[in-house]
Amino acid sequence: MSYVSAERSKILYGSKPQVLADGIKAAVVKIRLLDDCDRPVAGRQVEIVADAQTAQITQPGPTDNEGLALAYVRSTTPGLVNITARVLPE
């Protein structure tokens, strides 16, 4: 089992933190999982959740050897969308 540190892991924004709410353009959300020693954690699945019901999320695949995974968030309704992530059990 690979341990993931919630304190060291991060949710980052790829291209832009804000995009046009046209249902086509997407905000890229980069997830980086690290352990307590800042080593990348590969092969873990992350679930992204948005607080806006109109947000359409393309969930990421498993983290790569650098501990990275990408998700995409789109919406057709203007406004802020807060994103949270959780690591799914192995």
Q: Indicate if the pLDDT at residue 4 is higher than 70.
A: yes
Q: Indicate if the pLDDT at residue 13 is higher than 80.
A: no
For residues 73 and 17, which has the higher predicted lDDT (pLDDT)? 73
Q: Indicate if the pLDDT at residue 16 is higher than 90.
A: no
β-strands 27-32, 68-74 pairing: antiparallel
Tens of pLDDT, residue by residue over 19-71, are 888 989 999 999 999 999 999 999 999 999 999 999 999 999 999 999 999 99
Instruction: Write the DSSP symbol of residue 21.
Output: S
Tokens (6 digits) for 87: 């690591």
Instruction: In the chain, count H helices and then E strands.
Output: 0, 6
Catalogue the E-assigned strands of the chain.
Answer: 10-13, 27-32, 46-50, 56-58, 68-74, 83-87
Global pTM value: 0.87
